[in-house]
Amino acid sequence: MSQPSLCGGGPCAWRGNDIGKGMGQLEMGLGVLQKVARAPCAQLAGTQCGDKSYWHDGAVAEIEKKIIEAFEVFDHECNKTVDVREIGSIVRSLGCFPTEAELHELLAKVEEEEPTGYINLEKFLPVMTKVLLDRSYPPIPEDVLLHAFEALDENKCGYITKEELVKYLTEEGEPFTQEEMEDMLSTALDPETNTVCYRDYISMMIVDES
């Protein structure tokens, strides 16, 4: 990955994925991602970038506490382990937007040598701390999301038919399960026209989030 030019260097490199090699509107969107990823670093650290020791102990401790809290919400047996299938939820609820592929990579780092189906907090904590400090899986801004929907909207008419959406999301990319698809349709689909007006959908979801 190329060194971001806005920054003097140091551990705040933005780690993109294959999408970064895209073209057209998506490329533009990703440029935004790049900027977003870098901006809060200084705030988080409290000092200027470029200084290797700029992560305040306080900042790191606080991040660790947050990770532990999120972990414990899924720790049913109160023994510092969670089911491996819940890792995705934990990572995402901490503000990260990994793809499934990225998640698998992360899992490889935190799993035991002989996978037991459980992940230990001990292994998870340092890896996840680094993820948060590096902002490894930055959020997807609203306009990037919009561009993505527009890319699927062949006729540029502002909506996508149910069939098309289902086709794209269950056959392309990292396919949705049937349950995921139905879930999304339950809020996104306008049952009268059988289409998804994606601008409205995005606006609604953003409001829900806050």
**Footprint on this chain of other proteins (rule: CB under 8 A):** 18-19, 22-24, 26, 58, 61-62, 65-66, 69-70, 72-74, 76-79, 88-93, 96-100, 140, 144-145, 147-149, 151-152, 168-169, 172-176, 180, 183-184, 186-187, 205, 208-209
* Residue number, 12 or 67, with CB nearest to other proteins: 67
Taking the least distance from each CB to other proteins, the nearer of 9 and 40 is 40
Nearest distance in Å: CB 31, other proteins: 14
Asked if residues 107 and 123 have their Cβ atoms less than 8 Å apart, the reply is no
Beta bridge partners of 160: 196
Query: How far is Cα 103 from Cα 91, in angstroms, rounded to an integer?
Result: 9
Which helix (H) or strand (E) segment is 159 a member of? Answer: strand 159-161
Nearer to other proteins, 106 or 148 (CB): 148
Q: Is-contact 109 122, C-beta < 8 A?
A: no
Tell me the residue type at 106.
L
Return the closest-CA partner of residue 74 out of 60, 59, 92, 62: 92
With respect to other proteins, which residue has the nearer C-beta, 91 or 131? 91
Q: Closer to other proteins by CB, 77 or 113: give it.
A: 77
Residue 104 tokens read as 């698998």
Residue 124 C-beta: closest distance to other proteins, Å:
16
Give the start-end residues of each E strand in 70-131: 81-83, 118-120
Question: Minimal distance in Å, beta carbon 70 to other proteins?
Answer: 6
User: Closest distance between other proteins and the C-beta of residue 49, in Å?
Assistant: 19
DSSP 190: B
Question: Please, what is the minimum distance in Å from the beta carbon of residue 128 to other proteins?
Answer: 14
Closest contact distance (angstroms) between CB of 37 and other proteins is: 15
C-alpha dist (Å) from residue 80 to 114, 124, 169: 18, 10, 35
Nearer to other proteins, 127 or 184 (CB): 184
